[in-house]
Structure 1
Amino acid sequence: METIRTSKFCQSCGMPMKKDPQHGGLNKDGTKSADYCSYCYVNGEFTFKGNAKEMQAFCKEKMIEQGSSKFLAWLFTRSIPWLSRWRTKGK
């Protein structure tokens, strides 16, 4: 039986995949995405259409709304531009 490698973090928003209630987004064919969470990826398309900097701001705001400190929100979102979704953009 073949096991599918799953990213430890969503490669769009950086959220730990184990925190995703759906355990991954859905590809166009209905299979689970190994790289993107269910908040970022639905039916083979990204739900957030902005750029990496805008994604950072969006995620920081959501984390603060959910009770995280501004410092922790900054800390956990600072690596978003280096996630695979954003690194491959424009190549």
Structure 2
Amino acid sequence: MENKISCQSCSIPLDATALQGTDKNGLKSKEYCKYCFDDGAFKNPEINLEQMKINVNNKLKKLAINEDSIQKTVNNLPLLKRWKSS
């Protein structure tokens, strides 16, 4: 089974370079997506884990993702690098 790389903030799959955020040096981030991270900083640094859970839940519902998959993704958020210390 291959290891899928996901954003360590919102869990979006980073399977396409175009989805990767950028580090301060302009290189693509291997940890965060473009929706969460740009130029070496979080786009929304004040967001907390509970707010991120709501955002991810709402976005996945708009994409018509099944409820079980949404719940698994939301439940996985606290395990991601950005939220582990929260």
User: Per the shorter chain, which TM-score range?
Assistant: 0.7 to 0.9
TM-score normalized by the length of structure 2 = 0.81
- Equivalent runs, 1:8-47 vs 2, <5 Å: 8-18=5-15, 20=16, 22-47=18-43
Q: Which runs of 4 or more aligned residues in structure 1 lie more than 6 Å from their structure 2 counterparts after TM superposition?
A: none
Structure 2 residues without counterparts, runs of 5 or longer: none
Aligned to 1:88: 85
Structure 1 residues without counterparts, runs of 5 or longer: 1-6
Output the CA distance in 2 between the equivalents of 1:77 and 1:17.
17
The RMSD of aligned alpha carbons is 1.8
Answer 1 or 2: which has greater helix percent.
2
Aligned residues: 82
Q: Deviation per CA, 1:1-40: give whole Å up to 9, x if none.
A: xxxxxx711100111111x561411012211111101111
Answer 1 or 2: which has greater strand percent.
2
Q: Do 2:17 and 2:28's aligned partners in 1 also have CA atoms closer than 8 Å? A: no
SS of the counterpart of 1:22? helix
TM-score normalized by the length of structure 1 = 0.78
